Structure 1
Amino acid sequence: MTDQYDAWGALARLRKAGPLVHCITNYVAMDVTANTLLAIGASPAMVHANEEVEDFVSISSALVVNIGTLSPAWVQAMGRAADRAVARGTPWVLDPVGVGATDYRTRTARDLAGRKPSVVRGNASEILSLAGEVGGSKGVDSTRGAEEAAGVARELARGLGCVVAVTGAVDYVTDGRLTLAVEHGHPMMTRVTALGCALTGVTGAFLAVEPEPLLAAAYALALFGLAGEMAASGAIGPGTLRVRLIDALHVLDTIPRTELRIREV
């Protein structure tokens, strides 16, 4: 294991810090995101009221914005929270769920992407749609491979001035200059709703302890994917995997520190 990509060291820092991660996420994802953050060692807060989002950002270590279940009040709260995070220097991650499916969703995602997120994390269709390409999305699911979006992700990262993470069979993370491939995960993870949203939450947790967003995103992808592999071993189906994934995240710091599959491409 090289010192260059020390995901295990970042995990140790996360466990020690227990960062408060402010999540404005969707109804489908709230439960699994909160439990995933607790399992990885962070402290989740699901706060979306306009009356308190700015105050909550001010006491949080990271912000997560997920547009899965939109409403006008939530959109306003997302914008206010993102702006407060940038003003305070608090890292934040955008999950543009289902961007490209409707004009409202696309306009919202692009507006938020212009508010200086630290990381944008999405599947291939979402990243392609956010960048203005034909995404090929099916609702909130991706019909495109991550490798198809890797080049577009680099352009998008340069244009937005942030890190873009594209998830798929192989994940790609780029800041527009350097691109990393992360080769962890299991196909059964795609059969459990909101695991991508939970991964975005974990990305926020790593942003709280790793100052380089490219590395924070790569570490989140690698360790979440490794936990998915552990969970899939012995799982009889998606329901079992969901429970075992939370357990696997909880025990990550007790297993041997094997070298993770993170490489430059």
Structure 2
Amino acid sequence: MASTILVTGGTGTLGRHVIPLLLDAGSEVRVFSRHGRASGDGVDYVTGDLVKGEGIEAAVDGVDIVLHLAGGPKGDDVAARHLVRAALAAGVRHLVLISVIGADRVPLAWLRSKLAAEQAVADSGIAWTTLRAAQFHDLALTMAEKMAKLPVIPAPSMRLQPVDSREVAARLVELTLGAPAGLVPDLAGPQVYSMADLLGGYLRACGRRRPLLPVRIPGKAGRSYRAGENLSLDGAVQGKRTWEEFLAERVGRNRPLHGADKN
């Protein structure tokens, strides 16, 4: 009998890759979202708000597995505690969480919230699996697009290991359909880049030129990033798709045929 899986955040970047994979595996999929959507194509959409604690009991009713992808700049710890309580009461047998590499090391408020969400899952009384992943190529692209609008682009003093969201989705589906495994090895991209490398790669891919201005990140967070505490250099599973390959797919096809940006 197919498992019924509730996916929170199923309409986001990661969720859009996860849902088809779960359906292909024969799972019954329910998506929890703040915004209403008509059910169809094998997916049952339910509406609620994890941070406010609304609609969660109905969403987890009859669910075997919860794949918790929903997240934001704040409130992830509150959302996780609300979800955990409802899932435990509903008899959910496996809770899977996506988190971020460095959640236990980098002193930023949103990462402390991620770590607290991890702890809520680990202490839930439900069998669990947590995967920490690096920042997605999609996020790096969004940052580069916004920063490239400036006449001079700030390049913060930090390194990243961007990973393809499709590879993260495939790993999460594997973990979701498998046995609970606790905290599994991190998933990072195949290469480490400075912000200047990432921004320069984006500019080359879209045929533009902009000067880069190195920027030193201040405070404890800056020291943490310079020390590479947001990276996973030992023991991580590495994805295969590089930043350059991602850019060729997403940006290179839209590159002007002649010349560079004149602005």
TM-score computed with the length of structure 1 as normaliser: 0.43
Ranked by relative contact order (alpha carbons within 8 Å, sequence separation 6 or more), the top structure is 1
More helix as a share of residues: 1
Q: Which structure carries more strand by proportion?
A: 2
| Bigger Rg, structure 1 or 2 | 2
Q: TM-score, normalised by structure 2?
A: 0.43
